[in-house]
Chain A
Amino acid sequence: MRIALAGNPNSGKTTMYNSLTGRSEKVGNWAGVTVDKKEHLIKKSLGGDTPIIAVDLPGAYSMSPFTAEESIASAYVKGENPDAIINIVDATNLSRSLFFTTQLLELGIPVVVALNKADINSAKGTHIDAELLSAALGCPVIQTVSTTGAGLDKVISAVVSLMGKGQKAPYVQDDIDLSHKASVIEADKKRFAFVNSIVEKAESRKVLTKDRNFQDKIDDILTSRWFGIPIFAAVMFLVFQISQVWVGPYVADTLVAWLEGFQGWAAGLMEGADPFLSALLIDGMIGGAIAVIGFLPLVMVMYFLIALLEDSGYMARVTVVLDPIFKKVGLSGKSVIPFVIAIGCAIPGVMASRTIKNQRERRAAAMLAPFMPCGAKIPVIALFAGAFFDNAGWVSFVMYSLGIVLIFLGALLVNRVAGHKVRKTFFIMELPEYKAPSLWRAFKSMCSRGWAYVVKAATIILLCNTAVQIMQAFDWGFRLAESADSSILASLAGPFAYLLVPIVGVLSWQLAAAAITGFIAKENVVGTLAVCFAGLNNLIDTEELAMLEGTGTEIAGVMAITKAAALAYLMFNLYTPPCFAAIGAMNSEMKSSRWLWGGIGLQFGVGYTVAFMVYQAGTFIATGSVGAGFLPGLMAILAITAAVLYFIRKADRGIKSEYALSGAAA
C-alpha cells in the first residue's frame, strides 16, 4: 500500500519521511526544500509485515497550485489514488494548515492528520485539543514531532486501521461553477470560515503570533539595511575558511596518509607484475581515485556547515537580504536559494529553481546556478591553490566571489538577450521560526553526501581515470605508445588544446583532456591531471597532501604553465558548463532547448572570456607583454561578443515590434 505525505510547505514532511523510511533526503528550515516526489518503503519496525510505501510530496498551501512544485502534490493525491494520506499539519500555524486539510478530506481517501511540531507548541504554551479536532474533522489526529520521531508509530497504526475505508468530509464545498472566479472565492471564504470556527474551539494560545517576539529582534539585525549583507558575507566566508583552511586540510592529511598506505600496499602486491598493468592499476586507477578522495574532508566539512545553515532558518532571511540586489538584475530573492544550494552541488541547485514562479527568472536561475563552484570543484580549486599559490586562502574566496559576480552579470545578459520587459513581479517568502540546528542531522547529511562523493570517485571517476590511463598508454594501432605524445589520448585531446592556448599559453593536450573529462564530472579534472602528468601523480600522493608542504612549485613545473595561466585554467574549468548531470537538470527545469543551448553557450562564453582576460592581463602585468595566443583568443572573444550583441538587437527589435503591435491594438 501507498501513503502520501501531504501538507503545507515547511511543515516537516520530508523530516517525517526520513524518520519513517530511514532515508536521508534533503531537509531544511524553509518553505520549498522538496521540489520532487520521492517514495520508499517504510521501516519494518513501524510498518510491521505490511509493506507500506511512503510518498513524500512537495508542500502546497491548497489544491490549486501556485508554482510548479506545488502542482506535483495536488496532481498526485488527485490522480494517483494513494491508499491513504498522512496530512502533516504545522501545529504552530493551525489556522492556515487546515484549509488544505479540509480539501484533502474531500477526496474520499482515508486521511490521518499528524499534528506536527508539537514540541514547539508546548514550549510556547499553545494547546491544541486533538480529540476535539479529530471529531470536528472526522479523521484521526495525532500529535507528532517528526524531528524526534515521536508519535510516528501511532500515525502508522492509525493509517493501517483505516485501510480500505473511505473518508467522510466534514466540510463539502457547495456545488459551484469552478470557472466563475467570484463564486470560487466565496466558496473558499466559507471554507476558511469553517476552519476558523474549528480552530477557535480547538486551540488556545499564550503567545500571539502578531506580537513582536525575540526572533523578530534577531530578524531586525540579520536583515537590517546595513548589516544584512556584511553578515551574509561573513557567514559564507566562515564556511569556506573553516572547511578549506582551518579544519578540512588537517583531516585530509590523515586520510591521504592512510590512502597512500593502501596504495603502497597494493603496489607491493603488484611487484614483479607486468609494468603496464601495474601502472594502470596503481598510478591510473588507484592514484587517480586517491587524488580525488583526498579532498573528501574539505568537501564534507563544508557539507556539514551548509547543513547547519539550512537547518537554522537563516536561508529564508538571506533571500530577504539579497532580494533588493537581485531585483536590480531582473531576478528576486527567490533565486538566492538555488545559488546557495549550488555551493553543495549544482544539480539540486538547478532543481531548486522550480520554486520560482516567473518563468524567465526560473530559467535564468537554472542556467546561472552552476556558476557557484560546487563540491566537485573544490578538489580542482584546492589542487591549483596548492600547486601554484602556496595554498593561499584567497584563491578559493576569489573563486566563489567571482562566481557571484558572474551570476549578476549573467543575469543582466540573460535579461537583454531574452528581451526582459519591465513588469511588476512580487516577492513573498515565509519566514520560518529559527531553531538550533541539529548537529546529528547535519552529521547525517554530511555522511550521506560524503558517501555519494566516495561512490562517485570509486565509479565514474575511477572509470574515467582508467580510460584515460589506457588511452594514454596506447596508440591507435593498440601498441604501447612510444611516448604519451603519440597516444590515443594525445591525438583526441590535441585539437582542443589549440583552443586553450589563449588561456594557458602553451599547447598542452593533457590540460585539454582534463578539461574535457571535467564535463563528465568536475573531479575528473584532478583525476585526469594526476594520470596524465605521471610526475604530478607522485607529488599529489606524497605523505602529507603534498601541496600543503611546498611541493607546489614542483607541480607547477610538471604542468609547465605560469601562475596566471594556472589561475585562468582553473577559472575556465569552474565557469564553463558544469557536468553532464547538471546540464540534464538544466534541461528538465528549463523545458526549452533554445534556453538550454543558450545557457550552455552563455557558460562557455563566460568561462572562456574570463579565463582569457585573466591569463592575458596577468601575463601582461607579470612580463610587460601579452601571452601566447593573444590574437586568436581576442578574435574568439570578439566573435562571442558579436554573437551576444546580435541576439540583444534581435530581442530589442522583438520588444519594439511587440510594443508597436500592442500600441496599434490599443
Chain B
Amino acid sequence: MHMTLLNAHEGIEYRIRAVDTGDEEMDSFLFSLGCYPGEPITVVSHLKGSCVVSIKDGRYTIDRALADTVAVA
C-alpha cells in the first residue's frame, strides 16, 4: 500500500521514502528542516485538516495536501 503521512499511524517512527510537492522551493524548504528521503519522521497526531509531525527535534503542523506528498515506509 502506498503510505504517506496522511495514513501513517500516530506515534510510530517512519522513514521518509520520497518528498514530492511538485514545487522545487517547497521541497528544498522541507529539506532544510530535515524532511528528506532516508530521514526518520513521526506523526504525533492527526487533526482536522492537518497533522502534527516531529522532524528532527522540531514539531510542525502540516496540512493534508502537504502530508500527502511525503511518502513514508
Contact = CB atoms under 8 A, between A and B. Distances in A.
Nearest to B62: A428
Given A189-B36, A426-B21, A426-B63, A216 B52 contact: yes
A39 interface: no
B66 interface: yes
Contact of B61 (A96, A209, A225, A429): A429
Contacts of A211: 11
Interface stretch (A58-66, A292-300, A537-545, A650-658): A58-66
Interface string B19-57: 001111110111111101010101011011110101111
B31 A188 contact: yes
Nearest to A66: B29
A96 B32 CA distance: 8
A93 interface: yes
Contact of A426 (B13, B23, B52): B23
Contact of B34 (A96, A223, A425): A96
Given A426-B65, A429-B60, A61 B50 contact: no
A556 to B, nearest CB: 47
Contact of A323 (B13, B21, B34, B49): B49
Question: Interface residues of B: mostly helix, strand, loop or mixed?
Answer: mixed
Contacts of B21: 424, 426
A94 interface: yes
A52 B42 CA distance: 44
A212 B11 contact: yes
Interface residues of B, number: 39
Contacts of B23: 424, 426
Contacts of A357: 25
Given A93-B57, A323-B50, A426 B45 contact: no
Contacts of A447: none
A324 B49 contact: yes
Given A99-B32, A219-B52, A220-B45, A431 B57 contact: no
A97 to B, nearest CB: 9
B22 A431 contact: no
Contact of A427 (B33, B52, B63): B63
A210 B42 contact: yes
A185 interface: yes
A551 interface: no
Contact of B60 (A66, A181, A192, A430): A430
Contacts of A212: 11, 44-45
Contacts, number: 114
A34 interface: no
A92 interface: yes
Given A95-B57, A428-B61, A185 B11 contact: no
A64 B28 contact: yes
A331 to B, nearest CB: 13
A99 B35 CA distance: 13
Contacts of B45: 212, 216, 219-220
A426 B56 contact: no
A424 B69 CA distance: 11
B50 A209 contact: no
Most buried by A among B34, B40, B65, B66: B34
A210 B49 contact: no
Contacts of B32: 61-62, 64, 66, 99-100
A430 B36 CA distance: 17
A128 to B, nearest CB: 12
Contacts of B47: 223-225, 320
A356 B59 CA distance: 19
Most buried by B among A92, A223, A225, A332: A223
A96 B33 CA distance: 6
A428 B60 contact: yes
Contacts of A99: 32, 34
Contacts of A192: 34, 36
Contacts of B57: 92-96, 209
Contacts of B69: 426
Contacts of A431: 52, 59-61
Contacts of A225: 47-48
A425 B21 CA distance: 10
A133 to B, nearest CB: 15
A428 B56 contact: no
B59 A430 contact: yes
Nearest to B36: A189
Contacts of A189: 36, 38
A93 B58 contact: yes
Nearest to B24: A181
B60 A93 contact: no
B33 A61 contact: yes
Contacts of A424: 21-23, 65
A219 B59 CA distance: 11
A94 B34 CA distance: 11
Contacts of A429: 60-61
> Closest 3 CB pairs between A and B?
A210-B42, A61-B32, A426-B66
23 contacts: A66-B25, A94-B57, A95-B56, A95-B57, A96-B33, A185-B28, A189-B36, A189-B38, A192-B36, A210-B44, A211-B11, A212-B44, A220-B45, A224-B47, A323-B63, A327-B49, A424-B21, A425-B65, A426-B21, A428-B61, A428-B66, A429-B61, A433-B59
Interface of A: 61-62, 64, 66, 92-96, 99-100, 181, 185, 188-189, 192, 209-212, 216, 219-220, 223-225, 228, 316, 320, 323-324, 327, 332, 357, 424-431, 433
Given A424-B65, A429-B60, 17 more contacts: A64-B32, A66-B28, A92-B57, A93-B56, A96-B34, A181-B24, A185-B36, A189-B38, A209-B54, A209-B56, A210-B40, A216-B44, A220-B45, A224-B48, A424-B21, A431-B52, A433-B59
